[in-house]
Amino acid sequence: MASINLIESFTEFKEAENIDRPTLMKVLEDVFKTLLRKKYGSDENFDVIVNTEKGDLEILRRRTIVTDGEVEDENAQIAYSEAIKIEPDYQVGEDLYEEVEIQDFGRRAILAAKQTLSARIGDLKKNILVKKYADRVGEIVTGEVYQVWKKEVLLLDDEGNELILPKSEQIPTDYFKKGENVRAVVKKVELKNNAPLIILSRTHPSFLAKLLEIEVPEIFDGLIVIKRIVREPGERAKVAVESYDDRIDPVGACVGMKGSRIHGIVRELRNENIDIINYTANIQLLIQRALTPAKISRQEVDNDNKYAAVYLKPDQVSLAIGKKGVNIKLACELTGYEIDVFRDEEQEQTEFDVDLEEFSDEIEEWVIDELKRIGCDTARSVLDLTAEELVRRSDLEEETVNDVRRILQEEFDKE
């Protein structure tokens, strides 16, 4: 047999499209030179010629023709009488090239070569996959949902590579179906049991950063820089941005006309509220902006201990704290300061007020939640609005609004 078709003989080669030719040729040479060393004790006088385009391989044995009786190394030399049996025109001192038939190695050796070749190509593909995704850590990738398990979701990329999205890296309200396309950021790449493991994340701050980069050309171009991002996935995020061009309003550019740029990101993040604020080195101003949407009356900052005491009007306290304390938690993370929120005593002395939570035994919880949704956190903030205004702005009926106002007014009448 003059040559061997590798594509047919070693089916693993069909999966080796991503391996560059020089590397593939080197692997093939190494495998067959190992066979030569086992059979002949050395591979020094053998040439392994690989044609990856045709899938052909040739092994040539090179020996020098010497006078009969002077053969010292059978691998490197051949007697003249043996050489002329192959080709009568040969002369002493010439090099004789013979093709080594693959069958000469024996069935076991060929099977061993196939196994070695398969293992080597498998390792190469793993290394290529690891390098490909290691270079993409922090970038957004899209994968198709292949399998949904309790603790993780298995995705496949365009080339059929497996990507893992653990439950801990999913937004709490994420729900995936097989065949659905999912976007996530590459968090890390690691080897587990000698297999590449590509971990994705939808909760990491870099996911939001990349989404902003996609939606806001000024960020992609470097005119606007994201200074800090903090997130409570699915609940709220705060992004501090800064512009290197005085003509560009970084907050306006990120939000877009009528919120056009930010709306798509909010949908991707399962309605996560995103506060975009202007970054500043002035810590007091940064704290004030970080506590958005609450409005601060005054604050006392201890820079040495990175502590801030913030005073707000009673109706702003719950806004500053946020649902489940998320707003103030994110403000602390964004600024790097421990922030405590207090009611402004001066305000309380001039105007008595009561938090709506104090009426939970008389007013149903869902009614209180609805009033809070429209910004009414205290009794006075409700009474400051007319019944018609409350009905218009909320989902409450007029009868319910009148009952609530009566209960609240009775509390002030007692005082």
CATH for 352-414 is 1.10.150
**pLDDT on residue 3:** 38
Q: Under CATH, to which class is 142-201 assigned?
A: mainly beta
**Same CATH fold assignment for domains 4-131 and 280-341:** no
Three-state SS letters, 200-222: EECCCHHHHHHHHHHHCHHHHCC
Q: Any bridge partners for residue 299, and if so which?
A: 310
pLDDT for 96 equals 80
Distances from the Cα of 358 to the Cαs of 177, 323, 370, in angstroms? 44, 17, 15
- Residues, the chain: 415
Rounded CA separation 320/178 (Å): 40
**Strand 56-66, strand 46-51: pairing:** antiparallel
Closest CA to 6 of 107, 92, 94, 117: 117
Give the CATH architecture of domain 4-131: 2-Layer Sandwich (3.30)
Write down the CATH superfamily of domain 280-341: K homology (KH) domain (3.30.300.20)
Each domain of the chain, given as residue ranges in start order, spans: 4-131, 142-201, 280-341, 352-414
Residue 8 burial (CB < 10 Å; 0-12/13-18/19+)? exposed
Instruction: List the pLDDT tens digit at each of the 415 positions of the chain.
Output: 333 444 444 444 544 555 666 767 777 778 777 777 877 777 777 877 776 565 567 777 788 888 877 777 777 788 888 788 877 877 887 888 777 777 767 777 777 777 777 777 777 778 888 888 988 999 999 999 999 999 999 999 988 889 999 999 999 999 999 999 999 999 999 878 778 899 999 999 999 999 999 999 999 999 999 999 999 999 999 999 999 888 899 999 999 998 899 999 999 999 999 999 999 999 999 999 999 899 898 899 999 999 999 999 888 888 999 888 999 999 999 999 999 988 876 554 445 678 888 888 888 888 888 888 777 888 888 888 888 878 887 878 889 989 988 888 887 776 5
Query: Among residues 89, 197, 81, 188, which one has the least CA distance to residue 135?
Result: 188
List CB contacts of 45: < 8 A, sequence separation 6 or more. Answer: 61, 62, 63, 75, 76
pLDDT computed for residue 190 by the predictor = 85
